[in-house]
Structure 1
């Protein structure tokens, strides 16, 4: 029996309030955008070894562009590294952002040999 233990982070995204409203390229938060900036931050701050160890269970599970909320999954062993990388993210595209952790919770999934 193998147990996969993950941590889920509920993050709130604050966009730059001083951003001009008439900008031609509005930033729309998507799973791809959020995942890319977090992976880039892990690569810059923890290099290739840190990125490789974090990508095992890292996934942006949900993004709500209206409420500016996202849920991010990381392994129990690597969630602090992912969390640190998220706090060091400064922009998505050309827009300044700030991530705020609202909740951190865990889950344990049991997997038997036949799964």
Structure 2
């Protein structure tokens, strides 16, 4: 018997740099709002049947709100549908966003490796950008996110 096959996508989320930063409702990326935006896009672009077929193994496995990196799982049969719906997501909440695929993998082990490498590189850029304004809390939060990547399972 053959096991159920999944695809794992490491995605980078670009928030609109021109959005009004003084607003009271800043967008914080969470597994819930990323998942909702993708499901809404699948429903809009592929209908109820497309959404129902995609939901079997669809899951947002990991989101780092600081480095804007996420890992998304989809079935092997539906990963192209999910991927195309992700590219059509234009906003999360009221904030315009774009998704960029960094890695596509057939195993969680390879995905964890690619995600950890990308996340660490993006955090180094973040540290350079923040300079003196980098707080110990945000550093600890990112370290906790790195630990989450290391313990990801199916």
Whether the TM-score (by the shorter chain) exceeds 0.5 is: yes
The 1-side partners of 2:78 and 2:7 are apart by: 9
Q: What 5-or-longer segments of structure 2 have no aligned partner?
A: 109-154
From the two aligned structures, give the one with the greater strand fraction: 1
Which residue of the partner structure matches residue 31 of structure 1?
A: 31
Which residue of the partner structure matches residue 118 of structure 2?
A: none
**CA RMSD, Structure 1 to Structure 2 (Å):** 1.1
TM-score normalised per structure 2: 0.69
From the two aligned structures, give the one with the greater helix fraction: 2
Which residue of the partner structure matches residue 66 of structure 1?
A: 66
Equivalent pairs, count: 108
- Offset at 1:21? 1.6
- Offset at 1:47? 0.2
- Offset at 1:107? 2.6
The 1-side partners of 2:79 and 2:18 are apart by: 31
User: Which stretches of structure 1, 4 residues or more, deviate above 4 A after TM superposition?
Assistant: none
Matches within 5 A, 1:8-87: 8-87=8-87
TM-score normalised per structure 1: 0.91
